[in-house]
């Protein structure tokens, strides 16, 4: 149990375009979802926290207008990177937390974004 999926697993886009990444909790309801970013040889950095039906809370230094997060249901959150630039190229990872035995954060497999 406690499986989190992400789609796509990798994406290449041109500079200036927008990219949407989906995060799904497959076998539990996620009351809270988190989005992280990881650059090569670095640790994961938390970008934002979202609760179902509420606006996301962004960490300091993360542009909310650039990284749009939607958590419309208890099993789906999306991250949209708007007007992507090469410096946005990174490994984006989501995690989900439910209640009960799933109140631990479980992580998705990650999405590799490359902006040309």
Q: How far is CA 44 from the centre of its chain?
A: 12
Q: How far apart are CA 58 and CA 55, in angstroms?
A: 9
CB of 69 to other proteins, least distance (A): 14
User: Is the separation of the CB atoms in 48 and 59 below 8 Å?
Assistant: yes
Q: How far is the CB of 32 from other proteins (least distance, A)?
A: 8
Q: Return all residues near 84 (Cβ < 8 A) that are at least 6 apart.
A: 13, 15, 16, 17, 18, 19, 113, 115
Q: Considering only residues 75, 77, 90, 95, which one is a binding residue for other proteins as defined by CB under 8 A? A: 95
Q: 51-90: which residues touch other proteins (CB under 8 A)? A: none
Beta carbon of residue 16, minimum distance to other proteins (angstroms, whole number): 27
Q: Is 112 in the site for other proteins (CB under 8 A)?
A: yes
Residue 91 near other proteins by CB under 8 A: yes
Q: Which residues bind other proteins (CB under 8 A)?
A: 2, 4, 6, 34, 36, 43-46, 49, 91, 93, 95, 103-110, 112
């Amino acid at each position: 149990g406690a499986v989190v999926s992400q789609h796509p697993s990798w994406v290449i886009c041109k500079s200036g375009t927008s990219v949407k990444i989906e995060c799904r909790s497959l076998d539990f309801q996620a009351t809270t979802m988190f989005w992280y970013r990881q650059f090569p040889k670095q640790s994961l950095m938390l970008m934002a926290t979202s609760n179902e039906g509420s606006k996301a809370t962004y960490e300091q230094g993360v542009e909310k207008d650039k990284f749009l997060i939607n958590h419309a249901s208890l099993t789906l959150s999306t991250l949209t990177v708007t007007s992507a630039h090469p410096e946005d190229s990174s490994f984006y990872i989501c995690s989900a937390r439910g209640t009960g035995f799933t109140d631990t954060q479980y992580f998705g497999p990650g999405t590799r974004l490359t902006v040309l």
